């Protein structure tokens, strides 16, 4: 896998946050800003970086409360608008004004907020299994496990726990793939136990909100018009329905491509053959229009 440099920046409220910076070529193409899902971190994009780094620069942040980024004192800052402020500060520090956003789940929500507030930043966008309307069944499943501490004696135990909990999401995975996922989701603690690599308090805003409706994000789809946009949906997704994904594509229009990734749920890992081919098509469109 291509190497990366560790970078750090300060959030507006004084948290030291971490990102991975994978070097790209020197032909002026925009970097990829890779924004992970709710319980994920920069390691989630290792397969993508392993394939694209060297040609493309990839910037992969750990959001506040995840992996090597500091935990927030106030759990109610674990919300998309705060994440957007954190990312905006990172972009300002790196003097990046144009990029391709790669947003998985929560990262896709942040990408939608970027489109709504700074459309001019986007050279392209990938929304991975997320949209303005999220199915209650998938949200209930996420609420059931987020913030529930887990501890395992070995990596294999952690991998088997992931396999049991996510058999419907990745039914084709073997132990090696579950182990790779465990290495991205968990860390070793000081006692040698394998534990989840995020602040359990990220669940508090989700629980506080319950099923209360948020802001209507459907009008944001129009902000992606004219921007090369890839909409990925796991064929088995319980979070983004096929109908919602189609409505998103219709709202964006000619510059959107909708791809259903067979055999996976929420969310595609971006290393499936269909995901790889679709991402390559997106990046070709970014480069050549």
For the record, the structure tokens of 157 come out as 């135990």
Dihedral over Cα of 280, 283, 288, 289: its sign:
positive
Q: Above 50 in pLDDT, residue 1?
A: no
Task: Name the least confident of 111-115, 138-142, 234-238, 269-273.
Answer: 138-142
Range of the domain at 69: 4-146+202-288
pLDDT (tens digit, 9 = 90+) per residue, 148-171?
988 999 999 999 999 999 999 999
Q: Looking at residue 161, what is its pLDDT?
A: 95
Is residue 85 domain-resident?
yes
DSSP 32: E
Is residue 162 domain-resident?
no
Characterize 82-110 residue by residue with b for buried, 16 or more Cβ atoms within 10 angstroms of its Cβ, and e for exposed.
bbbebbbebbeebeeeebbbbbbbbbbbb
Q: What is the β-pairing status of strands 122-128 and 256-261?
A: unpaired
**CB proximity list for 99: less than 8 A, separation 6 or greater:** 30, 31, 32, 33, 59, 91, 121, 122, 123
Q: Above 90 in pLDDT, residue 214?
A: no
The position carrying tokens 């990312």 is 87
DSSP string, 214-233: ----GGGGGGGTTS-EEEEE
DSSP string, 84-130: HHHHHHHHHHHT---EEEEEETHHHHHHHHHHHHHGGGEEEEEEES-
Q: 147 and 201 in contact (C-beta within 8 Å)?
A: yes
Give me the mean pLDDT over the 250-265 stretch: 97
CATH number at residue 83: 3.40.50.1820
Dihedral over Cα of 179, 180, 186, 189: its sign:
positive
Q: 112 and 217 in contact (C-beta within 8 Å)?
A: yes
How far is residue 198's CA from residue 202's CA, in Å, rounded to a whole number?
A: 8
For the record, the structure tokens of 11 come out as 């959030």
Q: Above 90 in pLDDT, residue 183?
A: yes
Give me the mean pLDDT over the 55-75 stretch: 98
Q: Above 90 in pLDDT, residue 212?
A: no
Is residue 176 domain-resident?
no
Is residue 119 domain-resident?
yes
Is residue 160 domain-resident?
no
Measured in whole angstroms, how far is the alpha carbon of residue 67 from the centre of its chain? Answer: 14
Range with top average pLDDT, 132-141, 206-215, 234-243: 234-243
Is residue 156 domain-resident?
no
Q: 37 and 267 in contact (C-beta within 8 Å)?
A: yes
Q: Above 90 in pLDDT, residue 66?
A: yes
Dihedral over Cα of 169, 170, 175, 176: its sign:
negative
How far is residue 94's CA from residue 71's CA, in Å, rounded to a whole number?
A: 22
* Tally of domains within the chain: 1
For the record, the structure tokens of 147 come out as 């913030």
Give me the mean pLDDT over the 220-248 stretch: 97
pLDDT (tens digit, 9 = 90+) per residue, 103-140?
999 999 999 999 999 999 999 999 999 999 999 899 88
Is residue 166 domain-resident?
no
Is residue 164 domain-resident?
no
Confidence grade of residue 210 (pLDDT, cut at 50, 70, 90): low
More confident residue, 207 or 43: 43
Nearest to 85 by CA among 19, 14, 32: 14
């Amino acid at each position: 896998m291509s190497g990366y440099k560790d970078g750090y920046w300060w959030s507006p409220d004084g948290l030291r946050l971490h990102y991975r910076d994978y070097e790209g070529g020197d032909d002026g193409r925009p970097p990829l800003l890779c924004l992970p899902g709710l319980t994920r971190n920069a390691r989630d994009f290792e397969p993508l970086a392993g394939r694209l780094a060297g040609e493309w620069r990839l910037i992969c942040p750990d959001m506040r409360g995840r992996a090597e980024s500091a935990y927030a004192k106030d759990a109610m800052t674990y919300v998309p608008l705060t994440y957007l402020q954190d990312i905006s500060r990172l972009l300002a520090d790196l003097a990046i004004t144009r990029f391709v956003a790669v947003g998985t789940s929560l990262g896709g929500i942040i990408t939608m907020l970027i489109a709504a507030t700074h459309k001019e930043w986007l050279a392209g966008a990938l929304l991975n299994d997320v949209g303005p309307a999220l199915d209650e069944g998938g949200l209930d499943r996420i609420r059931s496990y987020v913030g529930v501490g887990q501890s395992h004696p070995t990596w294999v135990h952690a991998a088997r726990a992931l396999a049991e909990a996510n058999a419907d999401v990745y039914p084709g995975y073997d132990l090696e793939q579950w182990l790779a996922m465990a290495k991205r989701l968990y860390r070793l603690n000081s006692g040698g136990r394998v534990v989840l690599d995020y602040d359990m308090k990220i669940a508090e805003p989700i629980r506080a909100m319950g099923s209360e409706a948020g802001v209507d994000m459907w009008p944001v789809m129009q902000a992606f018009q004219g921007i090369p946009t890839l909409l990925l949906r796991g064929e088995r997704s319980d979070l983004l329905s096929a109908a919602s994904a189609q409505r998103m594509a219709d709202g964006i229009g000619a510059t959107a491509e909708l791809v259903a990734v067979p055999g996976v749920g929420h969310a595609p890992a971006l290393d499936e053959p269909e995901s790889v081919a679709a991402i390559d098509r997106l990046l070709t469109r970014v480069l050549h229009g």
